[in-house]
Structure 1
Amino acid sequence: MSENGQAAMNGARYIAESFEALGVSHVFFMDAILRPTLVEMEELGIKRILAHSEKSAVYMADGYARASNRVGVCMAQSVGAANLAAGLQDAYLHRAPVVALTGRKEPMLRYRNAYQEVLHAPLFQSVTKASMDVAEARELPHLLPQAFRMATDGSPRPVHLDLNGLGGEIIEKGAVPSPVLPDPALGRLPAHRPVASRAMIEAAAARLAQAKRPVMVVGAGAIQVDAHVEIRAFAEACKIPVATSLGGRTIVPTTHPLHIGTVGTYSAPPGNRLVHEADLVIYIGCHAGDQPTNNYTVPAQGTAIIQIDLDGQEIGRNYPGVTAVWGCPRQAVADLAAHVTPQTAWADFAAHATAAVAEWWRGMEPAMRSDAAPLRVERLCREISEALPENAILVADTGYSGIWTATMVDLPHPGQSYLRAAGSLGWAFPAALGAQCGAPDRPVVCFSGDGAFYYHLSELETQRRWNIPVVTVINNNSGFGQGTPKVASFYDGRSGSPEEINRFGPTDFCALARTFGVDGYRVERAEDLGPVLKAAIAARKPALIDVVTYIDPRAPEAWSPPSV
């Protein structure tokens, strides 16, 4: 017995019971790591999702975390640590709460040319808040809760625990003399957050009062604190247009008259133009990096800025002279709304914004209704918009998948969610599997190009093994469509084979899915797509829809301000 009267337990049982206490329902891993712990987890009802690569395991944990607002857990043995670290880049950039566990060689084997061993801490330094070494099992009651605490606090981001033993076995076998379990609240994003001061709210209200053309730019930080109701109420009461980063999509329905689309490098033209026209931009839970600002040109440097963020280190990082509101975005927006008197000029600018967006959509209508074969991606996006249930989660890959879905897919229902890759091609499919594990009662649809899907198509076996009812839609154009014009431009006036740089296939992914035991559908005619999508989503079974598309149509291109 320990000093506090609790029976000592070994490390394996302590980790398993801690995960149960923290609300971890799934762990995503590559063999061989914490095998006795995994056995203990089964007894406690925790699902153990064996993946086919470390990066897939991380992406699953990332998707799980984003869909559930709980901490995602991924694990790999010592030799897989480098691959696990590489997979954490997306979770780090998006600010998702993930805890990664790796084994490491025991101390007497380090710095001695041990087989398959490199130092782990440097690998994780740039993709985690912290990489902590766990040398003894008795450290677990301190370091395991701390990892979860750090992963969820402030700007959520991954944390790494490096466990003694190739597969963590030294920690598993060791004794935990005082096995106090973690506080369950540490297993999810905080319910209570610091509130912005009254002085900050009043300063922001005073600056907003001076504006004639204000807009909001909302990011993932507002989604994470569930500020949907407050932001929509603020926008409607004050008639302020709402733009979003990709991570902020669905903060208001995309068909709302005040929604002007994504902004930045993955923007349809009116979004960037309208934010550039604004004389004040209110950033809400958006860190204003190069993507949502079109390389820091939208809005122009010198534009009046109010920046609302839970992480004070982000306020003013990319635009000088901001009016800072440091605190929970949900509470801050509600407080700001209470201090603001709407102006007639704001409604005039909002009407201008609504008209500009509507005009752009009218111009896209012919492509969205095209019956061309191979299919146009605009038509694919329209059919997805109409097929998605009211509580669906749409998971999109990066590159053209991100641009197409950010600009052309409508998400009109308040209960819909949009998760996107923060830059890692191939992220979407395993992330969608994780998202479905984190939100088992919601339909999950994955949008991926064929180039991205090749990365982790082996996870079709994982999907079938666990009967994960994700519907994956492949935009199958037999190449990397986004770079096609640029590659062709390099061959201007020259002979050669540009197709060797970014073309591949053709591949029948429908047949491939069926080989893995997943329902496969191949769509080559536009009129077949809608019925197939709706039937596959309604079936709630693992499914893949292979849509043969045309590579040449260009996704909407972001507007940029004229060069000075």
Structure 2
Amino acid sequence: MVETTGARYLARALDAAGTTAVFLVPTVLSATLVAMEQETGIRRIVTHGEKAAAYMADGYARASGRVGVCMAQNIGAANLAAGLRDAVLGCSPVLAITGGPYPYSRGRNYYQEIEDLPLFKPVTRSSRQVFEAERLPDQLAQALRDATVGKPGPVHLELAGHTGDLVENGTLDAPPPPPREARVPGIRIEPDRDAVRAAAAAIAAAERPVVVAGGGVRASGAAAEVVALAERIGAPIATSMNGKDTVPSDHPLAIGIPGLYARASANQVLLEADLVIYVGSQTGSQLTLTWQVPPPETRVVHLDIEPSEPGRHYADTLPLVADARSGLRALLEALPETDLDAGAAWRERARELAARWREEVARHVESEAAELRPERLVTELSRLLPEDAIVVADTGHAGMWTAAHLDLAHPGQGFIRAAGSLGWGLPAGIGAQIARPDARVVVFTGDGGLLYHLSELETAARWQIPLTIVVNDNSSLNQEINPYTVAYGGELSGRHGELWHFRETDLAAVAESLGVTGIRVTSASGLASAIAQADETPGPVLIDVVTDRAAVAPKGSSERAR
């Protein structure tokens, strides 16, 4: 055995796990950070807030499939826990490391000491305390397994000492861990053969099947297989927000995203389906419009790595518990030959609904109004994206506009999105770009989202992260128009603007002041040159696109089309 310090072991173990960057607010694990500099190539990214550090680790994890690592001393642990909310909702493998109380300080009103450990329970798959360096190897290894095996998610280690110092300065006898990348899927779980046969029989008998690809398809690397399934049975194929980049938008069977953040035609197709095949997707409220799309009585085949998911919301479910790629390959082998001509009318119906939706939104998509419409902005962005772009979308309207109008037709393009935390987009985009230096990350957010973590523009500038940030700048939180209209009795009146208006701000100039190249765009015609300039500019670029304050993104509907 070889005696080493906790700091050196932790630095080497994270390096062996494939970690290329950690995200932190000082002061935490100081000796470990020095060991990273001296003995590894891990980058140490200091952020302006613990939530931003968690969001960066989350974006890093989603873009690469590797475990993202964030750190904070015990005083900042509560903020770090709050930042893990999006990771747990988005099934993202993140390792959060915090300091903890000293043995002598517990319960003694020690300066700034609060018991933060319980805060991590609802936002992690596991949360563990490490009291001494000797337990670091097994506790770290188990945390990495918990993050990547089965349904991915965040995990937490609390290391003794306010900055983790008792553990990192302690000694242990342990050999250097062997190189083994911690990434999803940690284990490819194979399906039960009887379950495969039952699912295949149900699929073969369906007259109006629809496939829905979720984030598990992305995590499993099963995009080719899920498209092959849809082609094999001639079924329209939808995606969740997390699975948006698993199906090319120009595929003839693609129908877009159903649910709340939806393309209306996708909802209409699912309402008419007699079988919905969910692959690697939770049947949560957003994707199903609170379990109305498809209707509760719809028959479902549900392939998921998490045994508790199939049948949770749809009673008539045939469960298939497996890794998405393994399960799809087994299904493709078990399916009988399909008469595609028999489903021609169903596919034509899906195309008709999609064409009708495009006609309905054309007036906004093609609008030449002086106040730029977000539909036009996102449609133009689709056309101008680099072939290797990864789009990182914030929540709220940013998520709604990209769900409905962003098209990803190139196989090298990717998409990751906030699961609910406004302001996630900018720091997550920084993390994604650090994880994937081979790609061009494009953040899509609103001014409301950008202002949450505006200070992280300085982080991007300090590290010269080649990130493009596109801001839908309507000087407001205009997603609140509908709720406040209802609250005011059906018509906005009084001082309603206090609740959702911002000052008009030149965000391009603000970006410049923080070291980021800023470009202000006031018409659709200016977007192409701005994107071209961003592609040619080293370091981060912010494109401030002034848009119509009154433009509200439509939500999904459960009304059937005629």
Question: TM-score, normalising length from structure 2?
Answer: 0.97
- Matched residue, 1:97: 93
Give the superposition deviation at 1:177. 1.6
Asked if the contact 1:65/1:97 (under 8 Å) is kept, the reply is yes
Amino acid at match of 1:221: G
- Matched residue, 1:227: 222
What is the rounded CA distance, in whole Å, between the counterparts of 1:396 and 1:227 in structure 2? Answer: 22
Amino acid at match of 2:321: W
Please state if 1:503 is matched with 2:498.
no
Amino acid at match of 2:225: E
Residues 315-334 of structure 1 aligned to structure 2 (within 5 Å): 315-334=310-329
Q: Any unmatched runs of 5+ in structure 1?
A: 1-5
Amino acid at match of 1:167: T
Give the superposition deviation at 1:309. 0.6
Please state if 1:516 is matched with 2:514.
yes
Q: Any unmatched runs of 5+ in structure 2?
A: none
- Matched residue, 1:120: 116
- Matched residue, 1:60: 56
What is the rounded CA distance, in whole Å, between the counterparts of 1:167 and 1:486 in structure 2? Answer: 44
Q: Deviations over 1:262-289 (max 9, x none)?
A: 0111012111111111000001000101
Residues 159-558 of structure 1 aligned to structure 2 (within 5 Å): 159-181=155-177, 183-185=178-180, 187-190=182-185, 192-340=187-335, 341-343=337-339, 344-492=341-489, 495-558=493-556
What is the rounded CA distance, in whole Å, between the counterparts of 1:420 and 1:495 in structure 2? Answer: 34
- Matched residue, 2:76: 80
Q: Deviations over 1:480-512 (max 9, x none)?
A: 121213312322468511111111121111000
RMSD: 1.4
Asked if the contact 1:28/1:48 (under 8 Å) is kept, the reply is yes
Asked if the contact 2:18/2:181 (under 8 Å) is kept, the reply is no
What is the rounded CA distance, in whole Å, between the counterparts of 1:250 and 1:163 in structure 2? Answer: 38
Amino acid at match of 1:59: Y
What is the rounded CA distance, in whole Å, between the counterparts of 1:48 and 1:19 in structure 2? Answer: 12
What is the rounded CA distance, in whole Å, between the counterparts of 1:534 and 1:369 in structure 2? Answer: 21
What is the rounded CA distance, in whole Å, between the counterparts of 1:117 and 1:123 in structure 2? Answer: 14
Secondary structure of 1:107 counterpart = coil
Asked if the contact 1:523/1:548 (under 8 Å) is kept, the reply is yes
Amino acid at match of 1:505: R
Asked if the contact 1:373/1:549 (under 8 Å) is kept, the reply is no
- Tell me which moved more, 210-219 or 393-402: 210-219
Asked if the contact 1:443/1:540 (under 8 Å) is kept, the reply is no
Structure 1 199/185 Cα, relative in aligned 2: closer, same or farther at 3 Å? farther
Structure 1 111/346 Cα, relative in aligned 2: closer, same or farther at 3 Å? farther
Secondary structure of 2:23 counterpart = strand
Of all paired residues, the percent bearing the same amino acid is: 45
Asked if the contact 1:483/1:502 (under 8 Å) is kept, the reply is yes
Q: Deviations over 1:61-102 (max 9, x none)?
A: 000001111000000001000000000000000000000000
Asked if the contact 1:372/1:526 (under 8 Å) is kept, the reply is no
Amino acid at match of 1:202: R
Q: Deviations over 1:145-201 (max 9, x none)?
A: 1111111010011110001111011111100122452x5435111364011122111
Amino acid at match of 2:80: L
Structure 1 178/53 Cα, relative in aligned 2: closer, same or farther at 3 Å? same
What is the rounded CA distance, in whole Å, between the counterparts of 1:488 and 1:537 in structure 2? Answer: 41
Asked if the contact 2:279/2:324 (under 8 Å) is kept, the reply is yes
- Matched residue, 1:3: none
Give the superposition deviation at 1:217. 1.1
Question: TM-score, normalising length from structure 1?
Answer: 0.96
- Tell me which moved more, 432-441 or 106-115: 106-115
2:45 to 43, 49, 53: 49
What is the rounded CA distance, in whole Å, between the counterparts of 1:213 and 1:60 in structure 2? Answer: 41
Residues 149-168 of structure 1 aligned to structure 2 (within 5 Å): 149-168=145-164
Q: Deviations over 1:223-257 (max 9, x none)?
A: 10011111111212221111111001011111211
Number of equivalenced pairs:
556
Asked if the contact 1:241/1:350 (under 8 Å) is kept, the reply is yes
